Amino acid sequence: MKVYLESFGCSASLASAEIMKASVERLGHELLGPAAAAEAEVYICNSCTVKYTTEQKILYKVRSMGEKGVQVIVSGCMPEVQLEDILHANPEAHILGVNAISRLGELLSLIERRMAEGLPAGGYLELRTSEPLGFLNVPRERSNPNIHICQISQGCNFACSYCIVKNARGKLRSFPPEDIVKDIRSAVAEGCREIWLTSQDDSQYGMDTGVKLPKLLCMISEIPEDFKVRVGMMNPFSVLPILDELVDAFDSDKVFKLLHLPIQSASHSVLKRMNRLHKMDAVDEIITKFRTRFEDLSLFTDIIVGFCDETDEDFEETVEWVKKYRPEKINISRYSPRPHTKAFSFRNLDSRISVQRSHALHKVCEQIKLGSKQEMIGWKGRVFVSKYTEMGDVLTRTDAYRPVVISGSGLKPGEYANVEITGAKPGYFMGKLIG
């Protein structure tokens, strides 16, 4: 069969998509690219339900593909929490549970049998598993052959009032550390030189088993060969209990000095309504300890603007925090009410206020980025070659994960080089080799 797979959402979702693509090809089906999507007999939608706009885009694709006579499979988070919406859009859409990516082949075989025998659709097929299976040590069709995305756990033990993902992925289940190390060791042997650790919250890893994230990072750092590890998002309230050990683990030469610490808001009243279990003095402690140990640290954060009953004063607290700590990257989202969450029943702000605040915060962030980029021009130091660009140049990373593109160098992924940053583009720096 001709199969087209489209994935939405986070890096964990992307990792699942890579595994499912490999499964499609391993079974002898033809995996189509976006340009050939119109030829598909089967459309796999690896869904995300974090934002309303994404949800609506997915429901449109599920409906329109079904109307064209294409067999539709919906995987990812949406089937766990919005099954009725999916089946309303397409009553014949088949369902693959978020934990059941290893059963895709089974589902494709059932669909193929129906098509070969000319049987009527007969309603949707649904395959699920209660525990996550097939996320590690399985073949992948990687989006980039030099980058391996390793999901280290499934689910979350906390309950932010706005978050639907907890309902979709369930309680925290950390994958065995020895399986993770084996998975990464195999990826490195296959030529991957950049490893992304991903989950709903990396710093929760091991809270249910005993082997915490710092220990896991030490185990990964012991794998031979040259590669770098990018640790994914970590919530302040789950970082704090392991802070000292985590800073020590980041001291490894194999770990990028990148701290992705979502605050969502700097207002304590908003954080309380969000059920975010941290105070801003804890955020300050975390950032201070990381910046004290690693002078050249990149700070990423996530912020939600326009959360229920957010006042002008609440928003200004967040803006002032951004100006003080100057993160290199801020993922800004306008609050989007999600079904089955506690915040769904809260009173929402006028959407025009959210739009205004989003624009204002984006403007502040752009000013900070511009200043930071100018400060980096002339910087000299060691970089790690991550991957080739579409233009045939190489994308390198500083120890703090800042992207530097080098042209005409002959460098290969996995190598180190000394460079000087000579200019800045909107999404990266330009550099040249130095002795």
Residue 72: phi and psi, rounded to 5, are -110, 130
178 and 299 part of one domain: yes
80 and 188 part of one domain: no
Going by their DSSP bridges, the two strands 30-32 and 42-47 should be labelled as: unpaired
CATH number of the domain where residue 89 is located: 3.40.50.12160
56 and 117 part of one domain: yes
Inside any domain, residue 170: yes
Q: What is the pLDDT along the chain (435 residues), one digit of tens a residue?
A: 999 999 999 999 999 999 999 999 999 999 999 999 999 999 999 999 999 999 999 999 999 999 999 999 999 999 999 999 999 999 999 999 999 999 999 999 999 988 887 665 557 899 999 999 999 999 999 999 999 999 999 999 999 999 999 999 999 999 999 999 999 999 999 999 999 999 999 999 999 999 999 999 999 999 998 899 999 999 999 999 999 999 999 999 999 999 999 999 999 999 999 999 999 999 999 999 999 999 999 999 999 999 999 999 999 999 999 999 999 999 999 999 999 999 999 999 999 999 999 999 999 999 999 889 999 999 999 999 988 888 889 999 999 999 999 998 889 888 999 999 999 988 899 999 997
CATH number of the domain where residue 394 is located: 2.40.50.140
168 and 317 part of one domain: yes
The span from the CA of 44 to the CA of 103, in Å, is 13
Nearest to 352 by CA among 386, 306, 387, 396: 306
287 and 251 part of one domain: yes
CB-based burial, 395-404: b 16+ in 10 Å, e otherwise: bbbbbbbbbb
Question: What's the predicted TM-score (pTM) here?
Answer: 0.94
Structural domain count, the chain: 3
- Report how far Cα 418 is from the mean position of its chain's Cα atoms: 30
